Protein backbone atom coordinates (compact mmCIF):
# COMPACT_ATOMS: atom_id res chain seq x y z
CA UNK A 1 0.00 0.00 0.00
CA UNK A 2 1.42 3.37 -1.02
CA UNK A 3 1.29 6.08 1.61
CA UNK A 4 0.01 9.48 0.65
CA UNK A 5 2.13 12.41 1.78
CA UNK A 6 0.83 14.72 4.48
CA UNK A 7 1.12 18.36 3.43
CA UNK A 8 2.12 20.79 6.16
CA UNK A 9 2.42 24.54 5.72
CA UNK A 10 5.93 25.46 6.93
CA UNK A 11 5.72 29.18 6.31
CA UNK A 12 3.73 31.46 4.04
CA UNK A 13 4.04 30.08 0.53
CA UNK A 14 6.08 27.01 1.54
CA UNK A 15 4.61 23.55 2.11
CA UNK A 16 6.55 20.58 3.44
CA UNK A 17 5.50 17.12 2.33
CA UNK A 18 6.15 14.24 4.71
CA UNK A 19 4.87 10.71 5.08
CA UNK A 20 4.43 8.79 8.28
CA UNK A 21 7.22 6.45 7.15
CA UNK A 22 9.86 9.19 7.43
CA UNK A 23 12.15 8.84 10.43
CA UNK A 24 10.99 10.72 13.51
CA UNK A 25 13.34 11.81 16.22
CA UNK A 26 12.78 13.61 19.51
CA UNK A 27 14.82 16.32 21.12
CA UNK A 28 14.49 18.07 24.45
CA UNK A 29 15.43 21.75 24.28
CA UNK A 30 15.88 24.16 27.17
CA UNK A 31 15.71 27.85 26.32
CA UNK A 32 17.32 30.25 28.79
CA UNK A 33 17.18 34.02 29.10
CA UNK A 34 14.07 36.20 29.01
CA UNK A 35 11.76 33.45 27.76
CA UNK A 36 8.79 33.61 30.12
CA UNK A 37 6.07 36.24 29.87
CA UNK A 38 6.99 37.02 26.24
CA UNK A 39 4.69 34.55 24.39
CA UNK A 40 7.57 32.11 23.95
CA UNK A 41 5.53 28.93 24.46
CA UNK A 42 2.65 29.97 22.21
CA UNK A 43 5.03 31.18 19.49
CA UNK A 44 6.92 27.89 19.77
CA UNK A 45 3.63 25.97 19.41
CA UNK A 46 2.73 27.91 16.26
CA UNK A 47 6.19 27.38 14.74
CA UNK A 48 6.12 23.66 15.64
CA UNK A 49 2.71 23.24 14.03
CA UNK A 50 3.98 24.92 10.84
CA UNK A 51 6.82 22.38 10.76
CA UNK A 52 4.67 19.30 11.53
CA UNK A 53 6.28 18.82 14.96
CA UNK A 54 4.43 17.36 17.94
CA UNK A 55 5.33 17.62 21.63
CA UNK A 56 5.06 20.37 24.23
CA UNK A 57 6.48 23.60 25.62
CA UNK A 58 6.37 24.29 29.35
CA UNK A 59 7.66 26.91 31.77
CA UNK A 60 10.18 25.71 34.34
CA UNK A 61 10.36 27.06 37.90
CA UNK A 62 13.83 28.53 37.27
CA UNK A 63 12.58 30.80 34.46
CA UNK A 64 13.60 28.58 31.54
CA UNK A 65 11.29 27.04 28.94
CA UNK A 66 11.49 23.32 28.16
CA UNK A 67 10.47 22.14 24.69
CA UNK A 68 10.01 18.48 23.78
CA UNK A 69 9.83 18.20 20.01
CA UNK A 70 9.11 15.09 17.91
CA UNK A 71 9.42 15.22 14.13
CA UNK A 72 11.71 14.81 11.17
CA UNK A 73 15.38 15.70 11.67
CA UNK A 74 15.02 18.58 9.20
CA UNK A 75 11.98 20.03 10.98
CA UNK A 76 13.71 19.80 14.37
CA UNK A 77 16.78 21.57 12.99
CA UNK A 78 14.53 24.37 11.73
CA UNK A 79 12.83 24.63 15.13
CA UNK A 80 16.20 24.65 16.90
CA UNK A 81 17.33 27.58 14.74
CA UNK A 82 14.09 29.44 15.53
CA UNK A 83 14.46 28.79 19.28
CA UNK A 84 17.83 30.61 19.24
CA UNK A 85 15.89 33.87 18.79
CA UNK A 86 12.27 33.07 19.66
CA UNK A 87 9.49 35.65 19.42
CA UNK A 88 10.25 39.39 19.19
CA UNK A 89 10.05 40.14 22.95
CA UNK A 90 12.29 37.23 23.97
CA UNK A 91 15.99 37.59 24.76
CA UNK A 92 17.35 34.05 24.40
CA UNK A 93 20.80 33.62 25.94
CA UNK A 94 21.20 29.86 25.39
CA UNK A 95 19.39 26.83 24.00
CA UNK A 96 20.56 23.38 25.06
CA UNK A 97 19.58 20.28 23.14
CA UNK A 98 19.61 16.56 23.80
CA UNK A 99 18.18 13.61 21.93
CA UNK A 100 15.52 11.67 23.82
CA UNK A 101 13.19 8.76 23.10
CA UNK A 102 10.35 9.55 20.69
CA UNK A 103 6.97 9.86 22.39
CA UNK A 104 3.54 9.65 20.82
CA UNK A 105 1.90 13.08 20.68
CA UNK A 106 -0.89 13.97 18.28
CA UNK A 107 -0.40 17.73 18.62
CA UNK A 108 1.99 20.31 20.04
CA UNK A 109 0.75 21.38 23.45
CA UNK A 110 1.44 24.21 25.86
CA UNK A 111 1.85 22.71 29.30
**What are the residue numbers of the active site?**
41, 59
DSSP type of residue 22: S
Instruction: Name the packing angle between helices 40-51 and 73-83 (round to 10°).
Output: 150
Task: Let me know if 59 is exposed, middle or buried by CB neighbors in 10 A (0-12, 13-18, 19+).
Answer: middle
CB 71 within 8 A of CB 24: yes
Distances (CA, A) of 102 to 22, 26, 32, 69, 72: 13, 5, 23, 9, 11
Amino acid sequence: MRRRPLKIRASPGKVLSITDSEPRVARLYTARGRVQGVWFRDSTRRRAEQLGITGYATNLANGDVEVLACGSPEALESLHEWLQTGPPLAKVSEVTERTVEVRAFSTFEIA
